[in-house]
Amino acid sequence: MKIAINADTRKVLSWAGEAIDALAMTRRDAFPVEVKFIQGAKYVELPVGAVGVLALKSRGVWGDVVRADGGSWVKAGEGRDAVYTFFLALDTVALGALFSGEPNNVELAMEISWSYTLGTLAVRETAVAVDVNVANDYIR
Protein backbone atom coordinates (compact mmCIF):
# COMPACT_ATOMS: atom_id res chain seq x y z
CA MET A 1 0.00 0.00 0.00
CA LYS A 2 1.35 3.40 -0.95
CA ILE A 3 0.12 6.58 0.70
CA ALA A 4 1.31 10.16 1.01
CA ILE A 5 0.78 12.68 3.77
CA ASN A 6 0.45 16.35 3.00
CA ALA A 7 2.88 17.92 5.48
CA ASP A 8 0.86 21.17 5.52
CA THR A 9 -2.72 19.87 5.89
CA ARG A 10 -1.76 16.45 7.37
CA LYS A 11 -4.33 14.77 5.10
CA VAL A 12 -3.67 11.28 3.76
CA LEU A 13 -3.36 11.11 -0.03
CA SER A 14 -2.44 8.74 -2.81
CA TRP A 15 1.09 9.05 -4.19
CA ALA A 16 -0.50 10.98 -7.06
CA GLY A 17 -1.77 13.55 -4.53
CA GLU A 18 -5.47 12.56 -4.59
CA ALA A 19 -7.46 12.57 -1.32
CA ILE A 20 -8.07 9.22 0.38
CA ASP A 21 -11.26 9.12 2.44
CA ALA A 22 -11.16 5.43 3.33
CA LEU A 23 -9.03 2.32 2.89
CA ALA A 24 -10.01 -1.33 2.51
CA MET A 25 -7.99 -4.18 4.02
CA THR A 26 -8.52 -7.86 4.79
CA ARG A 27 -8.13 -9.60 8.14
CA ARG A 28 -4.89 -11.60 8.55
CA ASP A 29 -3.12 -9.88 5.63
CA ALA A 30 0.42 -8.56 6.18
CA PHE A 31 1.98 -5.98 3.87
CA PRO A 32 4.25 -2.93 3.69
CA VAL A 33 2.75 0.55 3.97
CA GLU A 34 4.99 2.97 2.10
CA VAL A 35 4.61 6.60 3.13
CA LYS A 36 5.86 9.71 1.34
CA PHE A 37 5.44 13.29 2.50
CA ILE A 38 4.25 16.08 0.22
CA GLN A 39 4.75 19.77 0.89
CA GLY A 40 3.48 22.24 -1.65
CA ALA A 41 3.52 20.32 -4.91
CA LYS A 42 6.62 18.21 -4.25
CA TYR A 43 7.78 15.27 -2.18
CA VAL A 44 9.96 16.13 0.81
CA GLU A 45 12.17 14.36 3.31
CA LEU A 46 11.57 14.68 7.04
CA PRO A 47 14.40 15.91 9.29
CA VAL A 48 17.14 13.41 10.15
CA GLY A 49 16.14 11.07 12.96
CA ALA A 50 12.39 11.34 12.41
CA VAL A 51 10.44 8.39 13.80
CA GLY A 52 6.91 7.34 12.91
CA VAL A 53 4.01 5.37 14.36
CA LEU A 54 1.10 3.77 12.49
CA ALA A 55 -1.83 2.46 14.53
CA LEU A 56 -5.29 1.05 13.85
CA LYS A 57 -8.04 1.40 16.47
CA SER A 58 -11.80 0.91 16.47
CA ARG A 59 -13.34 3.87 14.66
CA GLY A 60 -14.56 6.56 17.07
CA VAL A 61 -13.28 4.73 20.16
CA TRP A 62 -10.37 6.98 21.10
CA GLY A 63 -9.39 5.04 24.23
CA ASP A 64 -9.51 1.67 22.45
CA VAL A 65 -6.50 -0.63 22.44
CA VAL A 66 -4.36 -0.59 19.32
CA ARG A 67 -5.78 -3.36 17.13
CA ALA A 68 -2.78 -3.45 14.77
CA ASP A 69 0.33 -1.33 14.25
CA GLY A 70 3.04 -0.85 11.69
CA GLY A 71 6.06 -1.24 13.96
CA SER A 72 9.00 1.12 13.43
CA TRP A 73 9.27 2.60 9.97
CA VAL A 74 12.34 2.07 7.83
CA LYS A 75 13.49 5.02 5.74
CA ALA A 76 14.91 4.53 2.26
CA GLY A 77 16.06 7.20 -0.16
CA GLU A 78 16.73 10.88 0.30
CA GLY A 79 15.11 14.17 -0.61
CA ARG A 80 12.11 13.76 -2.90
CA ASP A 81 12.83 10.01 -3.10
CA ALA A 82 12.51 9.46 0.68
CA VAL A 83 10.06 6.67 1.53
CA TYR A 84 9.14 5.63 5.07
CA THR A 85 7.96 2.01 5.22
CA PHE A 86 5.91 0.37 7.97
CA PHE A 87 5.01 -3.33 7.97
CA LEU A 88 1.36 -3.80 8.90
CA ALA A 89 0.17 -7.23 10.06
CA LEU A 90 -3.60 -7.68 10.45
CA ASP A 91 -3.32 -10.98 12.30
CA THR A 92 -3.23 -9.74 15.88
CA VAL A 93 -5.08 -11.04 18.91
CA ALA A 94 -6.59 -7.57 19.51
CA LEU A 95 -7.96 -7.37 15.95
CA GLY A 96 -9.07 -11.00 16.01
CA ALA A 97 -11.22 -10.26 19.06
CA LEU A 98 -13.36 -7.94 16.93
CA PHE A 99 -14.06 -10.86 14.57
CA SER A 100 -15.10 -13.35 17.28
CA GLY A 101 -18.74 -13.23 16.12
CA GLU A 102 -17.69 -13.62 12.45
CA PRO A 103 -18.90 -10.21 11.20
CA ASN A 104 -18.44 -9.39 7.50
CA ASN A 105 -16.14 -6.51 8.41
CA VAL A 106 -15.05 -4.18 11.21
CA GLU A 107 -14.65 -0.43 11.00
CA LEU A 108 -11.32 0.95 12.19
CA ALA A 109 -9.42 4.21 11.94
CA MET A 110 -5.76 4.49 10.94
CA GLU A 111 -3.60 7.23 12.34
CA ILE A 112 0.04 7.98 11.55
CA SER A 113 2.19 10.28 13.65
CA TRP A 114 5.80 11.30 13.30
CA SER A 115 8.23 13.15 15.53
CA TYR A 116 11.65 14.71 15.24
CA THR A 117 13.86 17.30 16.90
CA LEU A 118 14.52 20.78 15.50
CA GLY A 119 17.31 22.31 17.54
CA THR A 120 15.89 22.22 21.07
CA LEU A 121 12.27 21.73 19.97
CA ALA A 122 10.62 18.31 20.11
CA VAL A 123 8.13 18.25 17.23
CA ARG A 124 5.27 15.75 17.01
CA GLU A 125 2.74 15.80 14.18
CA THR A 126 -0.21 13.56 13.37
CA ALA A 127 -1.98 12.89 10.11
CA VAL A 128 -5.75 13.17 9.91
CA ALA A 129 -7.19 9.74 10.75
CA VAL A 130 -8.46 7.67 7.83
CA ASP A 131 -11.38 5.23 8.00
CA VAL A 132 -10.39 1.62 7.36
CA ASN A 133 -12.82 -1.18 6.52
CA VAL A 134 -11.24 -4.50 7.43
CA ALA A 135 -13.09 -7.36 5.75
CA ASN A 136 -13.29 -10.81 7.28
CA ASP A 137 -11.29 -13.41 5.38
CA TYR A 138 -12.51 -16.55 3.63
CA ILE A 139 -9.13 -18.17 3.10
CA ARG A 140 -7.75 -19.17 6.48
Residue 38 pLDDT class (50, 70, 90 cuts): very high
Q: What is the pLDDT of residues 51-105, one digit of tens each?
A: 999 999 999 999 999 999 999 999 999 999 999 999 999 999 999 999 999 999 9
Task: Count the neighbouring beta carbons within 10 Å of the beta carbon of residue 18.
Answer: 8
Pairing of strands 22-26, 130-135: parallel
46 pLDDT above the threshold of 90: yes
Q: How far is CA 34 from the centre of its chain?
A: 9
User: Domain 2-135 has what CATH class?
Assistant: mainly beta
* Global pTM value: 0.94
At 140 the pLDDT is: 82
The residue extents of the domains of the chain are 2-135
Rounded to an integer, the average pLDDT of 23-39 is 97
